[in-house]
Amino acid sequence: MDENAASVPGNSRAEPTQVRRMFDAISPRYDLMNTVMTGGLHHRWRRLAARATLPRPGLLALDVGCGTGDMALALRAAGARAVVGVDIAPAMLRHALRKLDARGETGVTLLLGDALRLPFRDGTFDATATAFTLRNTADVHAALAEMRRVVRPGGRVVVLEGAETGGGPAGRAARLYLHRVVPLLGGIIAGAPRAYRYLPRSMSEFLAPDALADVMRAVGLRGVRYRVLMLGTVTVHVAAV
Ligand SMILES: C[S@@+](CC[C@H](N)C(=O)[O-])C[C@H]1O[C@@H](n2cnc3c(N)ncnc32)[C@H](O)[C@@H]1O
């Protein structure tokens, strides 16, 4: 992969073309990096978020920023009747497609599309989730408003995100790991140290959990609550339309 071909967004105003190029460029090693960086725990966080998204089986779910498809698969495993995954990065979607094919998974449909202009009518889905995507969008408020719009009244909207909230020695250790070790791993494993420097930067620049909850309320979501996991580096926000 040509790391320099992929410009890396400045995050606070993530530029969609740069974001798309960066994820397309890292797509071949994206899954492996997730597993190495988190010791495999990323699957557990998605399972937790998927269960929070789907209070019962048989629902139609949307995965916003589906990437290589792991959240969509977690939603299926949590009982979704079917899942639609949307992403702006074609290469990430190609990896997702290969993964779905390899597993014989026919309940997930993938679409190229933008979280800020979801190509669905109001109230199309029973629920929606997004994993590690919101902080990469240019407008968190608009993305959440779109997620709310496409879910029927009573359905859930769930956000799984990377965060930098931990204080004390554990928080310092987490920050050291994210800002020093992860870029090294990103260089060695993915050949993309810049993309994996962007990752912790995008986490530290992202909304604090309370502020994200406020934006969710501001777009009209109800009953917003959240959990912080993994030394303050992962959050799961759950709300209802
Ligand atoms: C960190 S990856 C997360 C992928 C997947 N959700 C997961 O859990 O592994 C972020 C994904 O969001 C996608 N993305 C970023 N901005 C987007 C947007 N405006 N609309 C749709 N997808 C977007 C990227 O292309 C990328 O695949």
Round the average pLDDT of the chain to a whole number and report it: 93
State the distance from the centre of ligand 1 to the C-alpha of 169, rounded, in angstroms.
31
Are the C-beta atoms of residues 138 and 197 closer than 8 Å to each other? no
Residue 241 pLDDT class (50, 70, 90 cuts):
very high
Using pLDDT thresholds of 50, 70 and 90, give the confidence band for residue 8. Answer: low
Containing H/E element for 142? helix 140-149
Please compute, for residue 241, the number of CA atoms within 13 A of its CA located in the half-sphere on the CB side.
23
Of residues 75, 68, 130, the one with CA closest to residue 94:
68
- Decide whether any atom of ligand 1 lies within 6 Å of the 137 Cβ: yes
Q: Give the domain 3-240 fold.
A: Rossmann fold (3.40.50)
**Binding site membership of 164 for ligand 1 (Cβ less than 6 Å):** no
Return all residues near 118 (Cβ < 8 A) that are at least 6 apart.
62, 64, 86, 146, 147, 149, 150
The reported pTM is 0.94
45-55 pLDDT tens trace: 999 999 999 99
In the chain, where are the structural domains located? 3-240
Among 100, 118, 133, 201, name the best residue to mutate to test ligand 1's pocket (greatest count of ligand atoms within 8 A of Cβ).
133
Q: Is 215 in the pocket of ligand 1 (CB under 6 A)?
A: no
Nearest C-alpha to atom 26 of ligand 1 is from which residue? Answer: 67
**111, 86 in Cβ contact below 8 A?**
yes
Check pocket membership of 30 for ligand 1, CB cut-off 6 A: no
The atom number, within ligand 1, closest to the CA of 46 reads 8
Tokens linked to 53:
């998204």
User: What's the pLDDT tens digit per position in 97-152?
Assistant: 999 999 999 999 999 999 999 999 999 999 999 999 999 999 999 999 999 999 99
